[in-house]
Amino acid sequence: MPDEIVSVLAENRNVRIERIISTGQTSCWYDQNETEFVALLTGNAIIEYHDGKQVSLQAGDTIIIEPHLKHRVAYTSSNPPAIWLCVFYVG
């Protein structure tokens, strides 16, 4: 797949829940207003923070990314795909 598949599962003014399927894609830098809860359901991935710190994730791992903590997806596995459940929320 050339692009990730992003599905918004639920959304209101305070929360958005997304399922993202990645197959080797990486991302640009994010600087989000919301807190993000990330659960990696399958595959492997690496999140890189602006200060150079990296977090390796395997299926079943979770992290919380605080608002305005610059980060990017530096790696995602393709076989198996990295399937994410991401919850973005304010407050």
What is the pLDDT at residue 88? Answer: 98
Note the pTM of the prediction, 2 decimals.
0.92
pLDDT in single tens digits along all 91 residues of the chain: 789 999 999 999 999 999 999 999 999 999 999 999 999 999 999 999 999 999 999 999 999 999 999 999 999 999 999 999 999 999 7
Residue 82 neighbours by CB under 8 Å, 6+ apart: 21, 22, 23, 40, 42, 43, 44, 45, 76
CATH superfamily of 5-89: Jelly Rolls (2.60.120.10)
What is the pLDDT at residue 79? Answer: 96
What is the pLDDT at residue 17? Answer: 98
CA distance 66 to 3: 26
SS3 77: coil
CA distance 70 to 65: 9
Domain boundaries, the chain: 5-89
Closest CA to 35 of 56, 16, 61: 16
